[in-house]
Amino acid sequence: MGRPIAVLALLLAAALAEPAHAARKKAEKPEPGVTASSTTIKMVEHFTTVETADLPVEAIPEFMAVDPKTLPSRLRTKYQAKKLELAALKKNADGKKKGFFRRMGNDKQALCVPEEGDEQTVALLPQMGFEPITEDEEKFLMQKTNCSECELNEDFSLTMYIVPPKKKGDKGIRYLFLSQNDPLMGLIASYRAGGTGPTAFFGIGGAGGCR
């Protein structure tokens, strides 16, 4: 379940990875609205076709900054899924450095904006190391960790994903995901087994919390 810890360490290491050659693509007519350069498109193709452990670490910031709307439609879903995977891996790695209470001494308000996309990305995320969770499970995590939703997103790997409505006036569908490598998955497992989890202070076990 999830990526090996060795992969995570490699991804976030300071040393540079040796980039492989970008995937070649057949000549094609530009799609309307596609404004990304050919170099950016090749980079995205490479990132979405190779194993995470083989990615060129020095190119990750550039990859993360790409606007999916500027990409060909065939790449947008894969780009969003890979971007969310990399963001979750970084949050999991950073969390280990923050200590047991991840927001201790941090009074800055956590802000978060849900990702927005299509059902194809939702279907792809479990293959990228994400576990779907329910609204009740999210509330359980907030109670046990003393974190707000945005704090779970900023200090852990909670990902909110919205699929816009197909018809005007309808409501979009909101999905919740947690990285399978997130320590909070232990609390989710307890909840799904019918338990309420231990109580505070020891209620969050080895998962940690916000305060």
* DSSP codes of every residue in 75-130: HHHHHHHHHHHHHHHHHHHHHHHH-SBTTTT--SPP----EE--HHHHHHGGGGTE
State the pLDDT confidence band at 15, using cuts at 50, 70 and 90: very low
State the pLDDT confidence band at 206, using cuts at 50, 70 and 90: low
pLDDT: which is higher, 15 or 99: 99
Backbone angles phi, psi at 125, to 5 degrees: -60, -40
Question: What pLDDT is stored for residue 130 in this prediction?
Answer: 97
Give the pLDDT confidence of 99-139 residue by residue, as tens digits. 889 888 888 999 998 989 999 999 999 999 999 999 999 99
The sheet carrying 173-179 orders its strands as 115-116, 159-163, 173-179, 130-133
Q: How long a stretch of residues is the chain?
A: 211
Taking the C-alpha atoms of residue 206 and residue 25, their distance in angstroms, rounded to an integer, is 46
The three-class DSSP label of residue 32 is: coil
Taking the C-alpha atoms of residue 96 and residue 12, their distance in angstroms, rounded to an integer, is 13
Does residue 5 have a pLDDT over 80?
no
Question: What pLDDT is stored for residue 148 in this prediction?
Answer: 96
Quick one: average pLDDT of 46-73?
94
Name the nearest CA neighbour of 84 among 153, 159, 2.
159
Give the pLDDT confidence of 144-165 residue by residue, as tens digits. 999 999 999 999 999 999 999 9
Mean pLDDT is lowest, of 33-47, 99-113, 194-208, for: 194-208
State the pLDDT confidence band at 83, using cuts at 50, 70 and 90: very high
Question: Under a CB-based contact definition with an 8 Å cutoff, are residues 110 and 153 in contact?
Answer: yes
Which amino acid, one-letter code, is at 23?
A
Taking the C-alpha atoms of residue 95 and residue 208, their distance in angstroms, rounded to an integer, is 9
Question: What pLDDT is stored for residue 203 in this prediction?
Answer: 46
Which amino acid, one-letter code, is at 72?
P
Does residue 6 have a pLDDT over 50?
no
Does residue 96 have a pLDDT over 70?
yes
Does residue 16 have a pLDDT over 90?
no
Backbone angles phi, psi at 62, to 5 degrees: -65, -40
Question: What pLDDT is stored for residue 118 in this prediction?
Answer: 92
- What percentage of the chain has pLDDT greater than the value 90? 64
Token pair for residue 48? 């979405």
Q: For 131, what's the count of Cα atoms within 13 Å in the CB-facing half-sphere?
A: 21
